[in-house]
């Protein structure tokens, strides 16, 4: 089971880089949807014995992160009629290089962390790199919609880290986090829509004009 | 080091002879994707034969640099190919650190071609040369990272052990090797002036890169440049074969067939890439190359783990 899980983890890193490297909002959303699907398959691949808890976790992750959240983001794009380009604050090349640096840091840090036995030693570095690239997207992309994507990646990284403790972490906590994220992204989608209607733009740069 | 076995000479001969097949297969794949029948896969052999019989026209502006370039290009590319362990046992030339020599030989050939393009005195060719050199400076670090990752995986600085007789302990690095092969494929597309970076079929002035540089070459000179370009593709195909399926246990007589299969495979892969994606805008090309290099870096990190 583990080699397949390792391949899925590598694919998750590629979706991280896809978000950093693409210039189209819809491609970013497609990448984050793919990442959600991959994440959903991981609990089943990592643990040899299938218990109903893991199956419910996997199915709900796939449904929420793979379908529901991307659908609401697409809805926001369509309703807000935003321009389809990413318009990053730093160039794509610099983003990719920073991502590669994050990758190196994640792998060097993950080796030092004192963690109990893990299903595969790729899990922690991949979760760290996903968190860091999520932060990078949050910082360097001006569009509010992409900040939602960055927030989602951040959460995906935390979810991955939670998988290291999937046997111990209570199921309710996982589902609660999923629900929180779902509600959060839903609200953000609506907020993005309203920002756009007020300012004719969803660039977070304009938000400094919000004074009373 | 003893006398290289016959199989090494045989494998190199197969590579040198079959190299023009790769662009032919790529063009045929492209034609089939577009719903045409396309030129036969041995079209480049016919072109080379035709060009070899023609005379050469030299511009009055050129010096010996221009006359030397095609010969230097072919010579460096063949030498680079001889460094590879094509039969799975060892290259015809093998020493510790020959991976560096391999990249530098390719760079030397490119340097000769760039100089020749500048030697013509045409500003258009100078522009192509400048673009080509820019891309090369980005490709080279990526190639070095990929080769460094292979060197660490094989615990040796020689291409012979990096691509040939890898020990069974190396199988733990399988995900890393897949990444490195993917990265080398992307860098190959850039190095050999194939589609996302450069379009071998274009003759639109603004978009040409490699084609610009060879505008002034004619007759046998042009044949040599075209052959070297095909051989470079074939060399990279052999590297990708060595990374993914090192012909370790197959013995000397299966290796040439594996080599031929890899040439056809890479030709089809290049053709598919050219059919399904458009050429990137020039400012986006460095991003593509850097992404290829990052994949190699990822492989390196996985190997170091």
| Structure confidence by residue, pLDDT tens digits, B74-107 | 999 999 999 998 877 777 888 888 999 999 999 9
> Distance from B184 to chain A by nearest Cα, in Å?
16
Domain boundaries, chain A: 2-209
**In chain B, what is the straight-line distance between the N-terminal and C-terminal CA atoms, in Å?**
33
pLDDT score for B258: 85
- Residue for token digits 């190699």? B296
φ, ψ of residue B122 in degrees (nearest 5): -85, 130
d(CA A72, CA B181): 37
CB contact under 8 A, B286 and A6: no
Q: Which of A43-52, A82-91, B38-47, B200-209 has the highest mean pLDDT?
A: B38-47
**In chain A, what is the straight-line distance between the N-terminal and C-terminal CA atoms, in Å?**
57
Taking the model in full, what pTM does it have? 0.84
**Who has greater pLDDT, B8 or B188?**
B188
d(CA B77, CA B126): 23
**Who has greater pLDDT, B42 or B167?**
B42
pLDDT score for B169: 47
pLDDT score for A206: 64
Q: Which residues does A4 contact at the CB level (< 8 Å), separation at least 6? A: A45
Bridge partner list, A88: A141
Q: Tokens at residue B276, please?
A: 């399904």
- The residue of A3, A16, A22, A92 whose CB has the most chain B CBs within 10 angstroms, and thus the best one to mutate to test that interface, is A92
pLDDT score for B18: 94
Q: Which among A92, A97, A103 is the nearest to B298, CB-wise?
A: A103
pLDDT score for A192: 74
Alpha-carbon Rg for chain B in angstroms: 19
Cβ count near A112 (within 10 Å):
7
CA-closest candidate to residue A5, choices A64, A61, A53, A48: A48
DSSP B139-165: HHHHHHHHHHHHHHHHTSSSHIIIIIS
Q: Tokens at residue B117, please?
A: 């393009």
Average pLDDT over residues B122-144: 92
CA A93 to chain centre: 21
CA distances from B302 to A79, A163, B53, B80, B206 (A): 43, 21, 51, 28, 40
> Distance from B272 to chain A by nearest Cα, in Å?
21
pLDDT score for B2: 56
Q: Which among A6, A93, A99 is the nearest to B286, CB-wise?
A: A93
The angle, 0 to 180 degrees and rounded to 10, between the axes of the packed helices A92-110 and A2-21 is 150
Chain A environment of B304 (Cβ under 8 Å): 107
- Residue for token digits 């979810």? A159
d(CA A94, CA A92): 5
Give the dihedral sign, CA A62/A63/A67/A68: negative
**Are the C-beta atoms of residues B279 and B189 closer than 8 Å to each other?**
no
pLDDT score for A170: 64
Helix (H, G, I), strand (E, B) or coil at A85: strand
Q: What ipTM was assigned to the predicted interfaces of this complex?
A: 0.71
């Amino acid at each position: 089971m583990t080699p397949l899980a390792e391949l899925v983890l590598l694919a998750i890193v590629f979706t991280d880089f896809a978000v950093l490297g693409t210039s189209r909002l819809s491609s970013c959303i497609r990448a984050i949807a793919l990442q959600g699907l991959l994440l959903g398959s991981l609990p089943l691949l990592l643990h040899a014995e299938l218990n109903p808890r893991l199956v419910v976790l996997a199915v709900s992750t796939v449904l929420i992160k793979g379908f529901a959240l991307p659908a609401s983001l697409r809805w926001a794009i369509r309703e807000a009629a935003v321009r389809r380009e990413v318009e990053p604050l730093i160039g794509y090349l610099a983003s990719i290089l920073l991502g590669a640096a994050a990758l190196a840091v994640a792998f060097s840090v993950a080796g030092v962390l004192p963690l109990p036995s893990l299903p595969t030693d790729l899990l922690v570095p991949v979760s760290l790199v996903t968190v860091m690239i999520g932060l990078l997207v949050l910082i360097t992309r001006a569009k509010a919609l992409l900040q939602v994507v960055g927030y989602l990646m951040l959460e995906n990284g935390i979810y991955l880290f939670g998988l290291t403790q999937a046997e111990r972490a209570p199921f309710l906590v996982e589902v609660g986090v999923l629900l929180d994220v779902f509600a959060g992204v839903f609200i953000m989608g609506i907020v993005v829509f309203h920002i756009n209607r007020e300012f004719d733009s969803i660039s977070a740069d304009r938000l400094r004009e919000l004074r009373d | 080091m003893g006398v290289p076995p016959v199989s090494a000479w045989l494998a190199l001969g197969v590579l040198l002879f079959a190299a023009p097949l790769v662009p032919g297969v790529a063009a045929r794949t492209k034609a089939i994707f577009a719903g045409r029948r396309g030129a036969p896969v041995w079209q480049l052999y016919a072109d080379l034969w035709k060009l070899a019989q023609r005379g050469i026209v030299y511009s009055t502006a050129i010096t010996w640099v221009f006359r030397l370039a095609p010969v230097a290009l072919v010579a460096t590319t063949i030498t680079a190919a001889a460094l590879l362990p094509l039969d799975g046992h060892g290259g015809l030339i093998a020493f510790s650190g020959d991976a560096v020599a391999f990249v530098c030989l390719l760079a030397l050939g490119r340097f000769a071609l760039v100089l020749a393009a500048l030697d013509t005195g045409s500003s258009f060719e100078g522009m192509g040369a400048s673009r080509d050199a820019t891309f090369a400076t980005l490709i080279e670090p990526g190639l070095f990272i990929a080769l460094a990752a292979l060197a660490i995986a094989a615990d040796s600085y020689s291409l012979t052990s990096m691509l040939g007789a890898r020990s069974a302990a190396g199988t733990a690095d399988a995900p890393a090797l897949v990444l490195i092969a993917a990265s080398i494929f992307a860098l190959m597309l850039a190095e050999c002036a194939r589609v996302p970076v450069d379009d071998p079929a274009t003759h639109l002035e603004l978009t040409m890169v490699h084609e610009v540089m060879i505008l002034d070459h004619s007759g046998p000179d042009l044949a040599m440049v075209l052959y070297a370009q095909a051989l470079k593709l074939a060399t990279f195909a052999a590297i990708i074969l060595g990374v993914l399926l090192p012909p370790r246990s197959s013995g000397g007589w299966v290796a040439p067939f594996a080599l031929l299969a890899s040439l056809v495979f890479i030709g089809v892969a290049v053709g598919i890439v050219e059919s399904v994606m458009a050429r990137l805008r020039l400012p986006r090309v460095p991003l593509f190359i850097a992404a290829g290099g990052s994949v190699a870096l990822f492989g390196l990190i996985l190997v170091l783990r």
